[in-house]
Amino acid sequence: MPLIEARGLTKKFRQAVKEPGLVGSLKHFFTRQYKDKLAVDHIDLSVEAGESVAYLGPNGAGKSTTIKMLTGILVPTSGSLVVDGLVPYERRQQNARKIGVVFGQRTQLWWDIPVVESFNLARDMYEIPPRRYKENLGQFTEMLGLAEFMNIPAGKISLGQRMRADLCMALLHDPKLLYLDEPTIGLDIAVKDRIRKFIRSRVEERGTTVMLTTHDLGDIEDICKRIVIIDNGKIIHDGDLAKLKDTYARDRVIHFQLARPPESIEPICAELPACELATDGLRLSVRFDRFVFAAGEIAAAVMSHVEVVDFRIDEPEVEALIRKVYLGQLSLDSPSQPAPAVVEA
């Protein structure tokens, strides 16, 4: 039995339809009009214990709505959802004991009291055994560098400090499941790095199951093995990062090191239509669609015209790929031709 099991999970919101301006507001006041928005549209999702899943998609895709249903904050409109044997919204309290949640946009810390007092409240709320609490707090304080602001009210610390404190707070009770909604948004590299290392240590050492939404490729590569992409409320991709690259990252680049500068690259271009060639002294690079050409064909074409001393194939550009996901530019057509066999260099 998976830890998270969603079947046909759906959330519909009623959104007010209002024309712009004062006239629109007045009209809306007298004749209210609404339309239904399917924020999450019949999704099926199974997550096994110990998995770390990146839940990606453009703004408004339905990521936060899904997380809110998983945490029990929102009640689904239809479909079924079971998290570790419970229906989250029916058993909010029990569910809360098993999960840790960090929303990048909102803190769980009490604003006016020193950070450490928020932790102590969490200890009492979750009835964390004193020894466990002391151990966890000690370890997290060290790993996340919390000591310097432990006694300052949450309202007076920086965003990076707040996020680290929030993460600590979410994990003090050793939850099985950690939901992170944009946890590194607006943070600088050093803080991001610290947060990622910390989360990874939880996954590796405690087997914590993580579900993460983020716009940051670094988060994904450091923490997640599996990528689920949601767009317009529907899941459009579910697989590991490698599979994502295989399916969507069609472009490959081969860099050749030449024995001497080429006189002309025209003959090579002629043999490789629709490829992008670039030269710089002894270097020649060819960008090609790997569903059209095999790497071996590119290499053969180049070598028939110039003397090659070495070459290397670039990894697909995941960054560009994820950017496409967020810009909604990802083409969902599966490649019409099967991927050619990879030629070993």
Give contact residues for Mg ion (rule: CB under 5 A). Answer: 63-64
- The binder of 329, among Mg ion, ligand ADP, none, by C-beta within 5 to 8 A per type, is none
Asked if 61 touches ligand ADP (CB under 6 A), the answer is: yes
Length of the chain in terms of residues written: 345
Rounded to a whole number of angstroms, the minimum distance from the CB of residue 96 to ligand ADP is 20
Residues 123 and 243: their CA atoms lie apart, in Å, by: 41
Q: Which residue has the tokens 């271009």?
A: 269
Site for ligand ADP in 13-32 (CB under 6 A): 13, 15
Query: Which residue in 4, 54, 57, 173 binds ligand ADP (CB under 6 A)?
Result: 57
Asked if 237 touches ligand ADP (CB under 6 A), the answer is: no
Residues 144 and 161: their CA atoms lie apart, in Å, by: 9
Which part of the chain contacts ligand ADP (CB under 6 A), choosing from 55-63, 148-156, 164-172, 251-259?
Answer: 55-63
Query: Which residue in 2, 50, 60, 296 binds ligand ADP (CB under 6 A)?
Result: 60
Single out the residue of 167, 163, 173, 324 nearest to residue 248, CA to CA: 324
Nearer residue to ligand ADP within complex by CB, 103 or 288: 103
Distances (CA, A) of 174 to 125, 136, 140, 195, 212: 13, 8, 12, 17, 17
Nearer residue to ligand ADP within complex by CB, 172 or 229: 229
Rounded to a whole number of angstroms, the minimum distance from the CB of residue 57 to Mg ion is 9
Nearer residue to Mg ion within complex by CB, 84 or 182: 182
294 Cβ contact list (under 8 Å, min separation 6): 340, 341, 342, 343
What is the dihedral angle through the alpha carbons of 3, 59, 102, 100, rounded to the nearest 10 degrees? -10
- Parallel/antiparallel/unpaired status of strands 209-213 and 177-181: parallel
Which part of the chain contacts ligand ADP (CB under 6 A), choosing from 58-66, 76-84, 99-107, 301-309?
Answer: 58-66
Which residue's C-beta sits nearest to Mg ion?
Answer: 64
The sign of the torsion formed by the CA atoms of 78, 83, 87, 93 equals: negative
173 conformational bin, left if phi > 0, alpha if psi -120 to 50, beta if neither: alpha
Asked if 37 touches ligand ADP (CB under 6 A), the answer is: yes
Residue type at 278 in one-letter notation: A
- Residue 109 DSSP label: S
Which part of the chain contacts ligand ADP (CB under 6 A), choosing from 19-27, 54-62, 168-176, 183-191?
Answer: 54-62
Asked if 105 touches ligand ADP (CB under 6 A), the answer is: no
Residues 280 and 265: their CA atoms lie apart, in Å, by: 11
Which part of the chain contacts ligand ADP (CB under 6 A), choosing from 62-70, 112-120, 143-151, 305-313?
Answer: 62-70
Query: Which residue in 10, 52, 65, 161 binds ligand ADP (CB under 6 A)?
Result: 65
- Residue 149 DSSP label: G
Nearer residue to ligand ADP within complex by CB, 43 or 128: 43
Rounded to a whole number of angstroms, the minimum distance from the CB of residue 127 to ligand ADP is 32
Query: Which residue in 3, 41, 51, 63 binds ligand ADP (CB under 6 A)?
Result: 63
- Summarize as ranges the residues that interact with ligand ADP (CB under 6 A): 13, 15, 37, 39, 57, 59-65
